[in-house]
Amino acid sequence: MSPILQGTELIQFLENNSPEKIKEVLEHVHPADILDALEDYEGNPLLILARIPNDVLVSIIEEAEEEDKNDLLSLLPHEQKKEVISEMASDELADMWEYIDEDEAELLISAMEESKAEELKALLQHDPETAGGIMATEFVSVSDQMSVKQALEYLQKHGDDAESISYLYMLDIEGRVHGVVSLRDIVTSKFDVRLSDLANPNVITVPTDMDQEEVAQVFIKYGFSGVPVVDEAHKMVGIITADDVLDIVVDESTEDIERMSALAHGEREYLESGVLNLAKRRIFWLLFLMISATFTGIIIEKYEVALSSTIILAAFIPVLMDTGGNAGSQSATLVIRGMALGEISMKDFFKVLYIELRVSLLVGGVLAGVNWLRIGLTSMHEDKWLLGFTVSAAMFVTVMIANLVGCVLPLLARRFKMDPAIMASPVITTIVDALALLVYFGIATSLYIK
């Protein structure tokens, strides 16, 4: 079943109904659908926003992409903006904070409740791409001496304020977690059971400075719906929930895919990016790689004399370059993705190298063989078998070099704290092209060119 109201129908509904009716119906419309309708709306969004109750506005703004939250917020009159901000979760505020200008930010902080302002300032200390940067500070802590019934009564009073109540945490006097009980265990147990009988003392936590990609790996491995975040003193300072992680996994994959295709990261969706922005994201890497590729040209120039006497050699440059590039990008991709998923690490360096060496012998052998046969059987040249052997020998060596370069560079990138995804297809191809031509002309001048 699709949503009851969406798109223009939703807008029309908002335009034509009383505040009471709107309040009643919007309770059952998902904020993501209202956001979609607003984004597609061509008129003045202020007219529509003015008809939406504050609590729904809060959900809509929380639903929006980080870079869009402030755009929505800035449409509101100052008083309403303050009200909406006072109802927003602290982690949502922190997410949008970098998009607010300084004067505005100070004004808003001074209008906040003091405890909230403190919380926000604490959150802003963390790198946005770490556990501390994505956590929410609203979690539920309980005593393990409570009964199930007492816990439920506690949730009836205080559960609304928490980001997630899927897990309740037991803290010691220093604020360190010493137990966790899931809401599921609570509601499937009799009212008089003690939480201490349900609690798991083995709580897996993540430190505030853990990279968000590693946080995602914890969720992928354990299938948790929430994980506590602790500071250096092991004090629990927040929680991260599974729905945050879903967004992170999508974003990190998108970023990796973009890097692997020599694209700078973009904040906005393709269709909403604008031509200038899309061009900017491409031009740096294209220029860099174009300049790099001129070295390959220099190699050809160096062999100009050899080439002009046996011009047929030029015909095999593309197939050598392409095959080398493809082989290199295959092994680079496997290693990059393996590292992103936590399956390969630096300690596997020589294991990976040995695997790629053997794979390249197999793959290079097959490719060289097929290539030799094809040239031998279809070429018109009189010395076609020797010509084919020359090209195929170069191909074999090229594939071997490509596979090794393809696996070594991403591993080295990680070693030097760079994103391995940078060392993908485009960079590998450019390097392998130059090496392939060196090998090709090296073999050709000793075997083929008299």
By CB under 8 A, the residues from 11 to 40 that bind a second copy are 27-30, 32
CB of 67 to a second copy, least distance (A): 15
> Quick one: which of 19, 53, 77, 201 contacts a second copy (CB under 8 A)?
201
Exactly one of 275, 416, 417, 450 binds a second copy (CB under 8 A); that residue is: 275
53 near a second copy, judged by CB under 8 A? no
The residues pairing with 95 across neighbouring beta strands, listed in sequence order, are: none
- Does position 335 bind a second copy by CB under 8 A? yes
The window from 47-55, 68-76, 122-130, 250-258 that contacts a second copy (CB under 8 A) reads: 250-258
Interface size with a second copy, residues (CB under 8 A): 125
Stretch that binds a second copy, among 39-47, 66-74, 91-99, 330-338 (CB under 8 A): 330-338
E-strand stretches of 87-235? 167-171, 177-182, 206-207, 226-230
| Chain centre to alpha carbon of residue 301 | 42
SS (H, E, C) the chain: CCCCCCHHHHHHHHHHCCHHHHHHHHCCCCHHHHHHHHHHCCCCHHHHHCCCCHHHHHHHHHHCCHHHHHHHHCCCCHHHHHHHHHHCCHHHHHHHHCCCCHHHHHHHHHHCCHHHHHHHHHHHCCCCCEHHHHCECCCCECCCCCEHHHHHHHHHHHHHHCCCCCEEEEECCCCEEEEEEEHHHHHCCCCCCEHHHHCECCCCCEECCCEHHHHHHHHHHHCCCEEEEECCCCEEEEEEEHHHHHHHHHHHHHHHHHHHCCCCCCCCCHHHCCHHHHHHHHHHHHHHHHHHHHHHHHHHHHCHHHHHHCHHHHHHHHHHHHHHHHHHHHHHHHHHHHHHCCCCCHHHHHHHHHHHHHHHHHHHHHHHHHHHHHHHHHCCCCCHHHHHHHHHHHHHHHHHHHHHHHHHHHHHHHHCCCCHHHHCHHHHHHHHHHHHHHHHHHHHHHHCCC
Question: Does residue 258 belong to the site contacting a second copy (CB under 8 A)?
Answer: yes
User: Contacting a second copy (CB under 8 A), which of 290, 377, 418, 447?
Assistant: 290
Q: What whole-number distance in Å separates Cα of residue 202 and Cα of residue 180?
A: 8
Question: Judged by CB under 8 A, which of 18, 110, 115, 202 binds a second copy?
Answer: 202
List 17, 143, 150, 189, residue binding a second copy (CB under 8 A):
189
Indicate whether 265 belongs to the interface with a second copy (CB under 8 A). no
Q: CB of residue 347 vs a second copy: minimum separation in angstroms?
A: 11
Tell whether residue 204 is a contact of a second copy (CB under 8 A). Answer: yes
In angstroms, give the least distance from the CB of 90 to a second copy: 18
The residue from 18, 110, 115, 156 that contacts a second copy (CB under 8 A) is: 156
Sheet holding 226-230, edge to edge: 206-207, 226-230, 236-241
**Site membership for a second copy, residue 346 (CB under 8 A):** no
Q: Does 174 bind a second copy (CB under 8 A)?
A: no
Nearer to a second copy, 80 or 143 (CB): 143
69-88 binders of a second copy (CB under 8 A): none
Out of 46, 187, 373, 377, which residue is the one contacting a second copy (CB under 8 A)? 187
Q: Which residue has the tokens 């500071």?
A: 231
Stretch that binds a second copy, among 41-49, 50-58, 74-82, 328-336 (CB under 8 A): 328-336
State which of positions 403-442 bind a second copy (CB under 8 A). 424-426, 429-430, 433, 437
Q: Which of 1, 43, 416, 450 binds a second copy (CB under 8 A)?
A: 1
In the complex, least distance from residue 75 CB atom to a second copy, rounded to whole angstroms: 22
- Specify the residue, 30 or 82, whose C-beta has the smaller distance to a second copy: 30
Which positions from 90 through 109 interact with a second copy, judged by CB under 8 A?
A: none
Choice from 130, 147, 208, 329 touching a second copy (CB under 8 A)? 329
* Residue 183 sits in the site that holds a second copy (CB under 8 A): yes
x/- letters, 305..324, toward a second copy (CB under 8 A): --xx--xx-xxxxxx-xxx-
Nearer to a second copy, 76 or 437 (CB): 437
